[in-house]
Amino acid sequence: MNLTDLDDGALNVTARSRLMLFNKIYADAHGYVSLCVCSFGIVTNLFNISVLTRKQMATPVNQILTWLAVSDILTMVSYIPFALHFYCQFPDRADQLQERNSHAWMSFLLFHINLTSTTHTISIWMCVTLAIIRYIHITSPTNTNGLRMKRIQQTRIVIIIVYISSAIVLIPNYLSNGLLEIQQGNRTLYHLTDLKVGRPGTDTTVLINVWMYAMIAKLVPCLLMSIFGGLLVYNIHVKIRRRRKVLHISGNSSMRLSEHSRTTKMLIAVITLFILTELPQGVLIVCSACIYNFFDTVYQPLGDVMDIMALVNNSINFVLYCSNEYKFPPNICEFVFLFVAP
């Protein structure tokens, strides 16, 4: 695959320099901001899991939300030591490179990159599953307890498939990443292997991996979420209109009817946040593969911003559940009471 004829001159030099300057300024705060977000997100996602796994909350949607919270926690747990070491303790300074880029910490960085790419892929495909399962429920509701339990079992199987297949699909990415040992005088430094993305001489295997990751982990899931999210919005509006016409529902009754769409609205909010977070990343990854030097001059400087956007997305589902799911706050209160009661 050939790069386009765009070169450094095609990208505005002033814009690139401002982007690099912004990256340097924000990098000083990124470690501390991400630590706050991750700490909040881990605690709230543990609350999510504790509440969503209660017997009275057993539904296919809540099963998916539970395992979405698990993948989000894994992402944030891995990000805390990464942020502490590479941003807070040892910012990118030449006199600290040996301590910063030791073999142990660079091995951890390699593990962190592979783990978070996997958990991000799991999360986005869990969100796709969420949209599809909710659409199936709206178009074909469960009228019996037996059917509901059957769908819960089917959902568990789908969740297992998503977790396993996400790891399998990313095996080429794991193999592409590696460590490079560099001797600088009497110092031994370790760096990640330069994949030369968006530069002459990029290995064909690397390009294929970049395109696969952009499509499978970003663009295709965003497309599916957009389709099923749109279908959810359309179907919920159609159902409300039909019930109003058939039953001649009054204003107060209409408000009670709208409560049944709260779960769908909450899921649409979750889907929208995923699309807003992941779609720009997918586009930037494609541009990195196609445009000369785009990866080094645009994608890399925006890396911290994309990370914090993803972390915020991972951490605020608790707020969405509390504000849109009418069963969630009472169960939170009940759980806290049982936890603190002597």
- What is the DSSP secondary-structure string of 219-234? IHHHHHHHHHHHHHHH
What pLDDT is attached to residue 329? 54
Overall average pLDDT of the 96-118 stretch: 90
Q: Considering only 20-34, 165-179, 195-209, which range has the smallest mean pLDDT?
A: 195-209
Longest dimension (CA), the chain: 84
Could you tell me if residue 1 is inside a domain? Answer: no
List pLDDT tens digits, range 125-161.
999 999 999 888 888 776 677 787 888 899 999 999 9
Residue 169 pLDDT grade (very low, low, confident, very high; cuts 50, 70, 90): very high
Q: Are strands 187-192 and 179-184 parallel, antiparallel or unpaired?
A: antiparallel
User: What's at 285, amino acid-wise?
Assistant: I
Listed residue (276, 262, 260, 259) closest to 225, CA to CA: 276
Sign, CA dihedral 121-126-127-129, equals positive
Q: Considering only 65-79, 96-110, 241-255, 264-278, which range has the smallest mean pLDDT?
A: 241-255
Give the chain's radius of gyration (CA, Å). Answer: 23
What pLDDT is attached to residue 296? 86
CB-based contact 49:94 (threshold 8 Å): no
Q: Report the domain count for the chain.
A: 1
What pLDDT is attached to residue 6? 45
Say which residue, 257 or 221, is predicted with more confidence.
221
What pLDDT is attached to residue 305? 94
Residue 198 makes CB contacts below 8 A (sequence gap 6+) with: 3, 288, 289, 290, 291, 292, 293, 294, 295, 296
pTM for the model: 0.85
- What is the C-alpha separation between 156 and 45, in angstroms, rounded? 19
Could you tell me if residue 2 is inside a domain? Answer: no
156: which 2 tokens? 């568990």
Could you tell me if residue 233 is inside a domain? Answer: yes
What pLDDT is attached to residue 34? 96
Sign, CA dihedral 123-126-132-137, equals negative
Residue 3 pLDDT grade (very low, low, confident, very high; cuts 50, 70, 90): very low
Overall average pLDDT of the 13-41 stretch: 88
Say which residue, 320 or 75, is predicted with more confidence.
75
What pLDDT is attached to residue 195? 81
- What is the C-alpha separation between 222 and 144, in angstroms, rounded? 33
Asked if residue 115 has pLDDT above 90, the reply is: yes
Could you tell me if residue 314 is inside a domain? Answer: yes
Overall average pLDDT of the 287-308 stretch: 90
- What is the C-alpha separation between 260 and 253, in angstroms, rounded? 12
Query: What's 305's domain CATH number?
Result: 1.20.1070.10
Q: In this prediction, what percent of the chain has a pLDDT beyond 70?
A: 81
The range of the structural domain enclosing residue 265 comes to: 8-340
Q: Considering only 66-75, 117-126, 195-204, which range has the smallest mean pLDDT?
A: 195-204
What pLDDT is attached to residue 148? 79
Q: Is 201 left (phi over 0), alpha (psi -120 to 50) or beta?
A: left
Q: Considering only 169-183, 238-252, 270-284, which range has the smallest mean pLDDT?
A: 238-252
Sign, CA dihedral 172-173-176-179, equals negative
Name the strand (E) or helix (H) holding 218. Answer: none
Could you tell me if residue 151 is inside a domain? Answer: yes
List pLDDT tens digits, range 42-77.
999 998 888 888 887 888 888 999 999 999 999 999
- What is the C-alpha separation between 28 and 41, in angstroms, rounded? 21
Residue 8 pLDDT grade (very low, low, confident, very high; cuts 50, 70, 90): very low
Query: How far out from the chain centre does Cα 250 lie?
Result: 41
Overall average pLDDT of the 175-203 stretch: 83
Could you tell me if residue 260 is inside a domain? Answer: yes
Could you tell me if residue 289 is inside a domain? Answer: yes
- Hey, which of 10-24, 91-105, 305-319 has the most confident mean pLDDT? 305-319
Query: How far out from the chain centre does Cα 159 lie?
Result: 16
What pLDDT is attached to residue 43? 92
- Hey, which of 52-56, 117-121, 181-185 has the most confident mean pLDDT? 117-121
Overall average pLDDT of the 101-123 stretch: 94
Sign, CA dihedral 187-191-197-201, equals positive
Average model confidence (pLDDT) across the chain: 83
Listed residue (98, 279, 90) closest to 185, CA to CA: 98
Overall average pLDDT of the 162-172 stretch: 95
- What is the C-alpha separation between 320 and 266, in angstroms, rounded? 6
Asked if residue 252 has pLDDT above 70, the reply is: no
Residue 32 pLDDT grade (very low, low, confident, very high; cuts 50, 70, 90): very high
Could you tell me if residue 223 is inside a domain? Answer: yes
